[in-house]
Structure 1
Amino acid sequence: MVESCFSKELGSDRCQESLGYMRHMKAHPTRGVDGIMKGLHEIGSETVLFRYQGSKDNGSKISSFLLEWDEGKGEEFKSCYSGSMKQHKIFKLMASTKYSFRLAAKNNFGFSNFSEIAVFYTSGNTPPAPLPPKLKEAGVYSLSLEWCAPTNPNPNDTLTYVLEMEEPRSGLGFKPKYNGEDLSCTVRNLQRNTAYKFRIPKCNGAEITDYRLQWGQIEDSMHLIYTGPCLRYEVKGLIPATTYFCRVQAVNIVGVGMFGGTGKVTTPGTVPAIVPMLQEVEDKVPAKLSSSCIAIQWEEPDCHGSPITGYNIEYGDKKILTVDLGPECVLKNLQPNTTYRFSVIYHGHTLNHKVQKLSEYTQYKFKIQACNEAGEGPQSDVYTFTTTKTPPAALKAPKLHPLNNNSCEIKWDSLNPVKGDPIIYCLQVITGKKAEQIYKGPNTTFCFSNYLANSRYRFKVCAGRQYENSDGVQELWGPYSPSTLFSTYKHQSGHGKGGGGKGKGNHNDKDEKYKTEMRDDTFVLILMIGFALIAILCAVAIQYFLIN
C-alpha cells in the first residue's frame, strides 16, 4: 500500500490511498534549453533565427516554449515568443547591438526554470560610400590626403577607413596604404613627379580583424586552411590539373560574417608520371622476324593534365627511340641471340647482393645463373620486383614567431612535390608526455593560440607524400623533425640596478631550450657510460674465472 498526495491536481491536501499499485508523480519539465547558442541558425543586422530542442518532459509531454529577451536594453526580460514551435525568428532588431535571451519549457504541470542566458550580437550595417579623398599637401616624395566621414546610420559603430593606392605601370591594381579611424593620411616613399590614384572603399561598421579561407576539391566539403589578416594566401602542394573550390569570410569584433561567393580554380598540367609497367609481348612478331625484333607493351601513366604526345624508349647501349603513339612498340634491327634490358650487376661467390641507385616505384626484372670451371649454367626464370616510394626527407626544427600575448606563428621549411606527388605536413605539439596533432595539410605555417601560462610546449613537424593507387589516396610519411621549445614561463626580474624587465612570457625561450636539451644529452651520456662500465666489469670477471 502506498500513499501519495496530489494537492496540485486534486485541489486538496488530503492523501488518497491507492490499492495494490504505485502511482508515480508527474512533474514540471526539467530546466529549459541551456544551450540556445547551439541552436542559433542565423544572425543578421536586423534579424536573429533560433532553433532549439525540448528538454526532458519528466513524464508529461512538453506543450509549448516561452522565449524571453531584454529588447537589447540590458534591462528586465520580456516575452517575445510563446508557442509550440521549436524555432523562432525575430525581426526589426538594431544593428551592432547586444541582445540577451532565455528559454523555458511548459507541460501540463507548469513551466520549467529558465535556461542560462544566451547573448548574441547583431552584425553591423554597411555605411554609405565615403566621398573621394582630397589632396591636402604634396611633397617631393610624399602626399597628404584627407576625406570626410559619411553619414553613419548607426551611431554605435566605430568607422574605419582603408585608403588604397594604384602605382603607375605596376599592373597590380589598388593596394591598401592606410587602415584606421583617422580622416587623413600621409603616404611616403613615393617617386617624384609621378601621378598616383587613390580611393576609399566602403567602410564597415567594425574593423575586420581576420579572414578565413576554406579550400577543397569538393564544393560541399571545403576545410579551413588559413585564418589571418592578410588579403592574399599561397596554397602549396596541389595536384596538377585538378579543380579546387574556395571561399572567404571576414571576422570582426562583432562576429563572423557570411561567406562570399565560391571561387573555382584549376591547376595547370605538368610532366607525366612514371610509366608504371613495361613488359614483352609474346606472339606479336612474325616468326621470320623474331630473331631481330621484340614487341614491348607498357601501361599509360597519368598525364598530369596535359595529353601525352609521345614516349622515349631507351634500350641496348643507351639507344633512344621516340614514338608518337602507345602503349606498344616493336623494336627492330636488334642483334640476334642478344639479351636486352638485362645487364650484369654482380659476379661473385656470395648468395646475396644489394642493388643500389634504383628509381623509386619502378618495376625491375632479374635472373641469375651459376657458373664453375666448366662454364656457365642455364639462366633462371625472370623474377620481377617493384621498388617502393621514397618517403620525404626529415625537416629542420620549426621556427616560432610570437604574434601577441596569446598566440604565436609556427613556420617550417617546404618541400617540392616528389615526381608529381604533392607534399603535406603534420604538426604535433608535446606537453609533458602527451603528443597531439594540431595541424595536417599543405601549408607551412600555423597559428598556435590559447596556450596556458607557465607551461612548456614542444613542436615538431614531418612531411608526408600523397599518392593514389588502386586502394585510393595513400600517404607516406617521413621522420619527424627535431623539436622546438616554446616556454610561457614569465621572466622574473632581478632586484636592484638593472633589474627592470618587461616580463614577456617567452623572453628566455632559447635558454629554456638549451637547458632542456642539455639535460637530455646528459642523460644519454650517463646511460652510455653506465653500459660501458658494465661491459668492462663483465670482461674482467670472465677473464678472471678463465685464468683460475
Structure 2
Amino acid sequence: MAEHPPLLDTTQILSSDISLLSAPIVSADGTQQVILVQVNPGEAFTIRREDGQFQCITGPAQVPMMSPNGSVPPIYVPPGYAPQVIEDNGVRRVVVVPQAPEFHPGGHTVIHRSPHPPLPGFIPVPTMMPPPPRHMYSPVTGAGDMATQYMPQYQSSQVYGDVDAHSTHGRSNFRDERSSKTYERLQKKLKDRQGTQKDKMSSPPSSPQKCPSPVNEHNGLIKGQNASGVNTGSAKNKSGKGKGVAQIDTEIEEKDEETKAFEVHLSTILKPVASDIQARTVVLTWSPPSSLLNGETDERTTVPELYGYEILISSTGKDGKYKSVYAGEETSVTLNDLKPATDYHAKVQAGYNSIKGTPSEAETFTTLSCEPDIPNPPRIANRTKNSLTLQWKAPSDNGSKIQSFILEWDEGKGNGEFCQCYMGLQKQFKITKLSPAMGCKFRLSAKNDYGTSGFSEEVLYYTSGCAPSMPASPVLTKAGVTWLSLQWSKPSGTPSDEGISYILEMEEETSGYGFKPKYDGEDLAYTVKNLRRSTKYKFKVIAYNSEGKSNPSEVVEFTTCPDKPGVPVKPSVKGKIHSHSFKITWDPPKDNGGAAITKYVVEMAEGSNGNKWDMIYSGATREHLCDRLNPGSFYRFRVYCISDGGQSAVSESLLVQTPAVPPGPCLPPRLQGRPKAKEIQLRWGPPLVDGGSPISCYGVEMSPVERDEPREVYQGSEVECTVSSLLPGKTYSFRLRAANKMGFGPFSEKCDITTAPGPPDQCKPPQVTCRSATCAQVNWEVL
C-alpha cells in the first residue's frame, strides 16, 4: 500500500481510564472467523501471543487474528478515531478512521505532545502490551479505504529487524538488536527529513497532530522492564503526574545510545585516497560513511546527502599534530601550498549537524621534489674602496641537494642588464677590481637536479670611498619655546648603503663658548631641547665615515619661540567718573614672554556679579574711554594681552559704579474716579528712568487754567493724592515730578481737569429800602 491514513496521535492510552472500544460483530451466526490485519511495507505490528510473549511483525504482511465468537478482536484507538469494518470480496478488514471533531468517545481529552517533523505513527497496541514504539504506523488499511487528502506519501524504511512470525524471543532480543535498530531508525529520520527539505512533501499537508518525544519509548518497550515480565499498567508515576525517575533516565540513556549509534555510523568512513600528487598540490577523494549494517546492505536505507566533511593533515608524522585544511560537503578537494618532498598524513572526518564521527585512518603520501625555493638577497660582509664581499644562505632544496649558487651583477653599469659573476657551492664571494664609491646591483639563484630557482630581489651595494662631501645646512622643521627640531640630508653622491654618521653642533650667541656638539649619530633629524625662549641659536652639521670627516655645513641661525605673556596689572579709573562715561587705564605685564605685546583686549560685564563678558576694546594703547553707560549702575572690567607667544590670562577685575542723576520725567497724573464739585482724586506712576537711584518723593503742582499761578498741592512718596478746596465747575491744570537722592527731575506735561458743578454760594444780605409805611424795596447782588 502506497497511501496511509493521516498520522494519529501516539499518546499512550494504556491507562486504565481509557475504555476498550468494542469491535463490531462481523458474523451473524457467531461462528469463528479469521480477521486479517494488513501491515504495509516498512511498517511493524506488535501482538501479544497466548504464551505472554510479544512478537513484532514487519510488513509487507497480513496478520491473521482468530475470532472465536465471530467478533473483531478488541483494538485500542486514540481519541478522535474509531475502528470501521470494511468487507472487500468477502474479506473483512478493520480500518481506523477519524471521527467528527465534536465526538469524543469516553469523554477523554487528547494529550498533545511537542511537534516533530511529519513521520508515520503507530496506533497504540492492545492491553497488557508495552507502550508503542517511537514511530508507529496505522495498523490496517486497504486501498481506497480513506480519502486521498488523508493519505500523505512517506518513504518508509524498516523500523524493526525482521522477526519470524513464530518467534518466541522476548525482551532480550530487543536488547541484543538495539544498536542495529537504532541505526536503522536514525537512517529513516535523516531520509525523511531530506525528503521534506527537497520535495516539501508531494502530497497535501497532513492534519496537525503531535508525535511523541524520541526519547520516550523504544521498540515498543519502556526501558527498566525486565525480560521476563512486562508492565501492564499506566506510563504515569505513582502520583499520576509526569514521568517516573526510571523512565527519565531511560530516555536519556536511549538518546545517548542513539547519538552513539550515529557516531559509530559516521566513523565507518574510509580514509581518503591521494591522487595527482605534485610538489605543492595533491587531490584527495573519499566516500561517504558506509551504509552496510552487520555486513549486509539494507536497500531501504538511504545515505543522506547533507554529510559534512573535514580534512585533517599532518606533516609531523601519523601521530603528530593535525590541522584542518578543508571543511565542506564535497567528497573531493585539491590541497595547495604544500611543501615539496614532504611526508603528509591525511584523515577525513564525517559529521552531520552537531554529531561527528571519529577521523578515518591516515592516508600517507609524499609530495614530489622540485627546484629550490627563491633565496634571500645576498648581504654585504665587507667592503673596501676596490672590493665587495657578499654572503648568502641556502634556501630550502625541496628534496634535491643544491648543486650550485648563481650570483649575477650589473657590473656597476646600472642599465638593468645582469651577467654571471659566480657559480658554485660556496656561500660567499668577493668581487675585486672595483672603483671607489662604485654602486653595483646583485641577485642570487640556486640550482638542483630539478631546475633553477627564481632570482632573489635585487640589492645595491657601494664600495667605500673617501670622506663624505660637505652636507647641506640643517633646516628647521618645527620650533617651540624651549626646543628646536632640525633635519638634514646626506651629502650629495653618497651611496645609499654607505654608513655615514653626523655631528650636529650648536652655539648660543650670548654664551661665549662657541660651537658645542649636541648630537652624534646616523639619524638625519634631531630635536635640541632645554633651550631658552625667544633666543637665537646657530647650528652646523658635519658628516663622517671610516675615511674621515667632511667640512662643516654653512652656519644657520634659528630662534626659539616666545612664551605667552604674563597677566597684565589690574585696570584702574583715570579721571572723574561721570554718570554715562569714564576712562580706565592699565599697565603691561611684568613678563612679556620674550616678545613684544601686540594687542590688549578689555572686557566688561554689567552688574556687580555679572559673568557675561563682552569685549569693548582691542588695541595696542593702554587706556580706554568707557561710554554709553547707565547712571548709578555697576560695571566690571578686566584686561588680557596678546603677543607672538600667545594669549595671557585675564587680569583681576575692576568694579566701578557710575553716579546717579535725578530721575527722568513722569507721565502726567490721571484722574481717578469722577470729579467732584470741590475736590478731585489724582493718581500717577513712577518715571521710566529713575536716574540710578530709587524714587523717594513725588511733587504735584496745580494752577487755574485762566492764569499761570502754579502752587504745589502735594509732596510725598505716595502715588496718589486728593486735591480739595476747589471751585465747582472750574478747570485746573496739574503736573507731576519725581525726586531721588540726587534731587527732583523735570515736570511732566500738564493735565487739565474740570470740577463738577455744585450749588451756588450763599448770597449777600439783601438791601431793603422803605418806600412808605407799607412798602419796602429789596435789592441783592447776583453771584
Q: Give the alignment's TM-score, normalised by structure 1.
A: 0.29
Give the greater-gyration-radius structure (CA): 2
Q: Give the alignment's TM-score, normalised by structure 2.
A: 0.21
